């Protein structure tokens, strides 16, 4: 994570939550040109004065992305085919109803809390992923995993909870793990 946010784990009635705070998050346009060299393209930053909106190789980026990553070591192997109740997930079995569904489709509304002032057209979107994986070497690296994912968005000033959608994907990879 860059220096734009302070991160703190806070205890709540819902369990520990990661709180991200900042006095101000400035979003200033950045300008790029696509440069091709040796049959490969790359994006190179340019100044606003160099930017030509009619040039298809020029891009204006008017949003800001901030990433946070946390890793926790766990006992091996993790139960990745049925992790609910045995491995860490965003929500316990009692807090949400999980129904079998095709992967990557939302299956449960969840909540995320926002508090900020912003213009009416400002938007905030987030994707939070939590997962576990096992990996081992058998003629090459292989493994299996599970993923818990929640996506959310809000527009304009916010104070309080908003609904988010989430899903849990289990059993991805190679089975059985060598130790199971």
Cα gap 10→165, rounded to integer Å: 22
pLDDT tens digits for range 49-99:
999 999 999 999 988 887 777 777 888 898 888 888 888 777 666 666 666
Residue 134: exposure state from Cβ atoms within 10 A (0-12, 13-18, ≥19): buried
- Domain locations along the chain: 30-61, 71-173
Q: Is the pTM of this model over 0.85?
A: no
Q: For 130-164, how does the pLDDT look when each residue is reduced to its tens digit (9 = 90+)?
A: 889 999 998 899 999 998 888 888 888 888 777 78
């Amino acid at each position: 994570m860059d220096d734009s946010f302070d991160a703190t784990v806070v205890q709540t009635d819902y369990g520990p939550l990661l709180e991200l705070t900042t006095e101000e998050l400035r979003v200033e346009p950045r300008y790029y040109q696509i440069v091709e060299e040796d049959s490969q393209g790359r994006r190179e930053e340019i100044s606003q004065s160099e930017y030509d909106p009619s040039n298809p190789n020029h891009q204006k980026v008017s949003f800001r992305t901030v990433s946070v990553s946390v890793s926790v070591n766990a006992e091996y192997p993790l139960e990745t085919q049925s992790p609910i109740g045995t491995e860490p997930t965003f929500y316990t079995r009692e807090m949400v109803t999980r129904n079998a569904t095709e992967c990557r489709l939302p299956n449960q509304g969840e909540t995320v809390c926002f508090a900020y002032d912003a213009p009416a057209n400002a938007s905030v979107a987030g994707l939070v992923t939590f997962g576990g994986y096992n990996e081992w070497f058998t003629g090459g690296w292989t493994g299996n995993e599970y993923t818990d994912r929640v996506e959310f968005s809000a527009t304009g000033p916010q104070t309080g909870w908003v609904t988010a959608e989430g899903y849990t994907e289990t059993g991805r990879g190679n089975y059985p793990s060598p130790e199971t």
